[in-house]
């Protein structure tokens, strides 16, 4: 399925997450898991979800290099397609994630979608981008609800893959995010809280496909 949707499943209920993955896995690009599921089931939830679709581990790794290596290595062993790391701990910490992740793709956070990001992260975004490029990341996390910042990040990164939170519940428009440089769109509550998650996924895929057909479509693997 050539979808640009990454479904964030920010819940504690592992059975719910697995049922959702069975339902929508073939219709989305990936499912994104955060700490709540891992706190309940451990890292094995990653390999369980991998039966149904790609899995991105949104752990926002932010520690010293040795600890980062342990975390990134573990999710890679569980079969994660991608992992998200913070970039602000420094280039050595981020590089440790990239090296330990192996074939698992590393996305570094250079801007976030909540208002508080403007206090510290936004003033340092350009430096965080440069650091991420030097560390060799696969892609970046940039806000899908702040189009000027997203466009600014895209202008500095050329072909790096940009994955954007902030779509739906935080006000971002899929079409506007794609127009301003996003490659993958993170949508969570609007899908997993929907009466019909698969129906919501198909509706979003349809509208996104119509837009990308006109604008051109970047293929990811």
Considering 4, 60, 179, 203, which one is annotated as catalytic? 60
* 126 within some domain: yes
**What is the percent of the chain with per-residue pLDDT over 70, rounded to a whole number?**
95
Residue 221, domain member (yes or no): no
Identify whether 39 is part of a domain.
yes
Any domain includes 152 = yes
Q: Identify which of 31, 41, 133 has the alpha carbon closest to the alpha carbon of residue 82.
A: 31
Q: Domain for residue 24, yes or no?
A: yes
Whole-model pTM? 0.92
Residue 134 resides in a domain: yes
Please give the span between the terminal C-alpha atoms of the chain, in angstroms, as a whole number. 12
What is the overall mean pLDDT for the chain? 91
Q: What is the pLDDT of residue 107?
A: 98
- Give the CATH number, domain containing residue 191: 3.20.20.70
Model confidence pLDDT, tens digit, residues 72-129: 999 999 999 999 999 999 999 999 999 999 999 999 999 887 777 777 888 889 999 9
Q: Is residue 99 part of a domain?
A: yes
pLDDT digit of tens for each residue in the chain (221 aa)? Answer: 589 999 999 999 999 999 999 999 999 999 999 999 999 999 999 999 999 999 999 999 999 999 999 999 999 999 999 999 999 999 999 999 999 999 999 999 998 877 777 778 888 899 999 999 999 999 999 988 889 889 999 999 878 999 998 887 777 788 999 999 999 999 999 899 999 999 999 999 998 988 877 666 565 65
Q: Is 179 a catalytic residue?
A: no
Number of independent structural domains in the chain: 1
* Domain assignment present for 220: no
Task: Give the structural domain span for 141.
Answer: 5-215
Predicted pLDDT at 6: 97
Output the 3-class SS for the chain. CCCCEEEEECCCCHHHHHHHHHHHHHHCCEEEECHHHHHHHCCHHHHHHCCCCEEEEEEEECCCHHHHHHHHHHHHHCCCCEEEEECCCCHHHHHHHHHHHCCCEEEEECCCCCCCHHHHCHHHHHHHHHHHHHHCCCEEECCCCCHHHHHHHHHHHCCCEEEECCECCCCECHHHHHHCCCCEEEECHHHHCCCCHHHHHHHHHHHHHHHHHHHCCCCCC
Helix-helix angle 14-24:197-215, to 10 degrees: 50
Residues in CB range of 10: below 8 A, 6 or more apart: 34, 36, 188, 189
């Amino acid at each position: 399925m050539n979808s640009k949707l990454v479904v964030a499943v920010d819940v504690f209920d592992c059975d719910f997450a697995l049922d959702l993955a069975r339902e929508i896995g073939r219709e989305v690009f990936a499912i994104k898991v955060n700490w709540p599921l891992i706190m309940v089931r451990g890292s094995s939830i990653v390999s369980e979800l991998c039966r149904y679709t790609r899995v991105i581990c949104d752990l926002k790794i932010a520690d010293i290099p040795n600890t980062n290596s342990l975390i990134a290595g573990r999710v890679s062993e569980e079969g994660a397609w991608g992992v998200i790391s913070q970039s602000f701990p420094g280039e050595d910490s981020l590089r440790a994630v990239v090296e330990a992740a192996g074939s698992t793709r590393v996305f570094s956070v250079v801007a976030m979608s909540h208002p508080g990001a403007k206090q510290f992260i936004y003033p340092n975004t350009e430096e965080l981008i440069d650091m991420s490029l030097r560390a060799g990341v696969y892609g970046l996390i940039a806000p899908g609800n702040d189009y000027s910042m997203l466009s600014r990040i895209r202008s500095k990164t050329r072909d790096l893959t940009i994955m954007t939170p902030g779509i739906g519940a935080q006000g971002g428009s899929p079409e506007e995010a794609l127009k301003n440089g996003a490659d993958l769109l993170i949508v969570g509550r609007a899908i997993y809280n929907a009466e019909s998650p698969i129906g919501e996924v198909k509706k979003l895929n349809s509208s996104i496909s119509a837009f990308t057909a006109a604008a051109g479509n970047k293929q990811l693997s």
